[in-house]
Chain A
Amino acid sequence: MAKSYLLEILAVVAILAFCGIFLYTSSTMAGAEFSGSDNVGSNLIAELTGKPVDSFSPLIPQWEPPSGEIESCLFALQAAIGGIFVGGVFGYWLGQKKKDLSETNIQ
């Protein structure tokens, strides 16, 4: 029994540990802003080249989400698209399996 749920248990433990580590770092680390590593990387580029971050302009003009809210909305949309695929297919497989089982039972 315990062995058959080993992966589930491990996943829960890993996620809890991950949350624990986050709570610990966010309360103890001074200056932890939890900004994206993409931005931290861009700042390092600015540091290495000696040019301010603002001087890097897009080579190809691009649309930027006007606010953080709109950005998180679009990120949620992206995750939802993925979720629809995952949930839809698992449901489809589950239905297929059930049908196969009932057909073999009739025979």
Chain B
Amino acid sequence: MHIMEGFLPWQWCLVWWLIAIPCLVFGIWQLKKILAADREALPLLGVTGGFIFILSSLKLPSVTGSCSHPTGTGLAAICFGPWVTSVVCAIVLLFQSLFLAHGGLSVLGANIVSMGIVGPVVGYAIYRLLKDTPVNIYLTVFLATALADMFTYVTTSLELALAYPAEVGGFGTSFVMFMAIFAITQVPLAIVEGIVLALVFKYIVALKPDILIRLNVFSEKQINAARGEA
């Protein structure tokens, strides 16, 4: 989902940076608050952040004959909210733009918006929507993580289509063309990512249910029910 350095006009770079920076500042503030209240949240941040590091380094082949990588952001978004996730993503994306020439410093803002903000916000919204319903918590995690992944790529398509509207058909045509590259490739990856992260969540529930209850990720009743059946 990286927009390559130099492939976005500077005006758009500036726009996405201006959107990204307040989110990052708020995320750092929120992270400090969470960690000050509960040091035991730090290991959970390590696990959820660790998966962002791992999954976003795996470039997997897909049905369209090209490769793409999952994002892994959904899990962190569920546990800590989207803004803290933005901070972790910014670190990963900075690493990739400095050492791997994937993305770059000028387009970093745009890449943070797609992978670190819109994706996690969508995942978090879905989780909040399903949280207090009788929907199985693992299904909730699956849907939130898979759609966080999908919407990251939809956002990249949107960012590129806004910057490069087609001569014939304008923004809409471009958007469809970029979606064909980014989003269709991503469908199978998002499904696998969702299942794998739901499985990871099951192990977190099995090993450290109390931190999930304290952070109010799910209620005690839901966690206990999930432990009973799993």
Partner of A41, one of B3, B55, B199: B3
* Given A48-B166, A88-B46, CB of A78 within 8 Å of CB of B4: no
**Chain A residues within an 8 Å CB radius of B203:** 90
Contact yes or no, B4 A56, CB < 8 A: yes
Given A7-B199, A25-B61, A62-B105: A85 in contact with B47 (beta carbons within 8 A): yes
Contact check, B138 vs A7: say whether CB atoms are below 8 A apart: yes
Pair A26/B66 contact, Cβ less than 8 Å: no
* Identity of the chain A residue whose Cβ is nearest the Cβ of B4 in the assembled complex: A42
Residues of A within 8 Å of B, CB-based: how many? 59
Among B7, B101, B177, B188, the residue within 8 A (CB) of A56 is: B7
Contact B54 A74 (CB under 8 A): no
Contact residues, A1-49 vs B (CB, 8 A): 3-4, 7-8, 10-11, 14-15, 18, 21-22, 25-26, 29, 31-42, 44-45, 48-49
Q: Which of B160-202 contact A (CB under 8 A)?
A: 160, 164, 166-167, 174, 177-178, 181-182, 185, 188, 191-192, 195-196, 198-199, 202
The verdict on B57 contacting chain A, using a C-beta distance below 8 Å, is yes
Report the bound CA distance from A49 to B138 in whole Å. 44
| Complex interface: chain B residues within 8 A of A89 (CB) | 43-44, 46-47, 50
Is A63's CB under 8 angstroms from B98's CB? yes
A41 neighbours in B (Cβ, 8 Å): 3-4, 156, 160, 178, 181-182
Residues of A within 8 A of B47 (CB): 85-86, 89-90
Q: How far is the CB of A83 from chain B (nearest CB, A)?
A: 6
| A21 close to B63 (CB less than 8 A) | yes
Chain A residues with Cβ below 8 Å from B229 are: 3-4
B118 at the interface (CB under 8 A from A): no
With A64-B101, A65-B100: A26-B3 Cβ-Cβ less than 8 Å = no
B97 contacts the other chain (CB 8 A): yes
Q: Does B68 contact A (CB under 8 A)?
A: yes
B24 interface residue per 8 A CB criterion: no
Q: A11-B195, A78-B95 in contact; A49/B164 too (CB < 8 A)?
A: yes
Contact of A106 with B by CB under 8 A: no
CA distance A26 to B61 in the complex (A): 9
B67 lies within 8 A of chain A by Cβ: yes
Known A-B contacts A33-B65, A86-B47; the reply to A45 vs B57 at CB < 8 A is: no
B135 at the interface (CB under 8 A from A): no
Known contacts A8-B199, A48-B166, A65-B101; is A93 also within 8 Å of B7 by CB?
Answer: no
Chain B residues near A94 (CB-CB < 8 A) = 207
Q: Which residues of B contact A10 (CB under 8 A)?
A: 195, 199
